[in-house]
Structure 1
Amino acid sequence: MVQLQPKLSTDIWTNATWKQFLAIVDDPDYAKTKGYYFNGQMKIETVEVAPDHASDNGIIHVAVTLFCALKGISLKGLINCSYRKTEVREAQPDSSYYVADRISLAPQGSSIVSLDQTPPPDLAIEIADSSLNDDLGKKRLLYEDLGVAEYWVVDVENTQTIAFQIVDNGSNRITQSQVLPGLNISVLSEALSMSRQMDDSQIVAWLMTNF
């Protein structure tokens, strides 16, 4: 008689060893999920992206890229890139960026980024639809330990961007980006709100005027 394996609980933090975590993220059945590991716990997030989540992710990426292009700031963006510190932590932000002189440190290739050899990005962003409390809570602690300089959470329901500067393994709320000097976080929130009524080309035109 074949014994069925218990179904994994997704979208919640569960106790797991590093070996158990790797077994899940390497399982083809979970190929379309996002994996996080922190303090002896893992979270496997199912990827069911609703239109507002997808739109906000696109708006933020365009806004960051456009701002840097207009301001002459070098930028390398990575969408849904996984960062792994072996046996310690793993994260897969919706988007992440290496900025200015650090773009030379941005990883390349087809493998998960190893933080054993590669420095973390300057900016990590999570788009929070149903995961807002976790993104502001445990994931923020994860990104503090990951060593990014700045962490943004996009609150899809309330069309706002909540930004944190990370210094000495702690984070502080900020209203202006420190890794992208001159970028007011309120402009991003306003663009998200406007995107509910306007098309993308109108949003880009408005951003260009503001930047």
Structure 2
Amino acid sequence: MVLASKPATPSILERHDATWQDYLTICNHPTLDWQKISFYQGWLWVSMGKEGPEHASVSDLMTAIFFAWAFLHPDVPLQSYGRCLIEYPETHACAPDLVLYKGENIPRYQAGEPRRIDLRFQRPPDLVGEIADTTLSLDLDEQKQLYASLGIPEYWVIDVKGRRVFAFALAEDGRYRAIAQSQVLAGLPIALLEQTLERLANETNTAAANWLLQQLQCQA
């Protein structure tokens, strides 16, 4: 199978009439080094590009924020599976930058199983997120539709260049609605996430995460 390339970004492959078999051909290719992949309703999107320093820094910061919240809520089980491949065979596939499970029935890998989360047998994550360094419009459109269709309760899009966080919660009609405070990580205002992002201009991501932890401790 040959996918059409976007002329301006040859490392991005996209097709709107793909099949599940097309997805499997790319996903399981022995030499194709893809970095991100998504499939939904015939839409297949593959990134061959490597993760840049800003993307990596922000991604690690968001994961550190999960750990900061967990430190203040030791009785709440949390598991981060960032960038893990998630599938509902024949219809959905994705590898979100951020994947967070909260509470009970968190997927656990068993030896001999495929190295992915199969939603036929495991529940969806409670929160997923995308670090939008060069993919902001896609993350607010196609990826947003994909995650809503999987019934994932909360979705974050982190705009690396704009230092913004777009946060959404799944409404009863199956669509995402913007929120000002995380519903999965109770007590975490989205504005505080944005303030933490802004600190990356002059600080390390570990220092920024420590600052956020201090703010949450003051709120407690």
TM-score by length of 2: 0.87
Q: Between 198-207 and 57-66, report the one with greater CA deviation.
A: 198-207
Kept after mapping to 1: 8 A contact 2:79/2:106:
no
Choose between structure 1 and 2: higher helix proportion.
Answer: 1
**Which residue does 2:8 correspond to in 1?**
none
Kept after mapping to 1: 8 A contact 2:64/2:206:
no
Q: Can you give the 5+ residue segments of structure 2 that lack an aligned partner in the other structure?
A: 6-11
SS of equivalent to 1:203 = helix
Which residue of 191, 196, 204 maps to 2:196?
A: 191
The AA in structure 1 aligned to 2:94 is A
Equivalent runs, 1:51-200 vs 2, <5 Å: 51-72=53-74, 73-99=76-102, 101-102=103-104, 104-109=105-110, 111-168=115-172, 169-200=174-205
Q: Between 125-134 and 9-18, report the one with greater CA deviation.
A: 9-18
Q: Can you give the 5+ residue segments of structure 1 that lack an aligned partner in the other structure?
A: none
Give the fraction of aligned pairs with identical amino acids, expressed as a percent.
28
The AA in structure 1 aligned to 2:80 is G
Kept after mapping to 2: 8 A contact 1:106/1:121:
no
TM-score by length of 1: 0.90
RMSD: 1.7
Which residue of 49, 52, 57 maps to 1:50?
A: 52
Q: Deviations over 1:30-71 (max 9, x none)?
A: 233321101112111123211111110011110121112113
Residue-pair matches, total: 205
Kept after mapping to 2: 8 A contact 1:25/1:31:
no
Kept after mapping to 1: 8 A contact 2:55/2:160:
yes
- Distance change in 2, residues 1:199/1:84 (3 Å): same
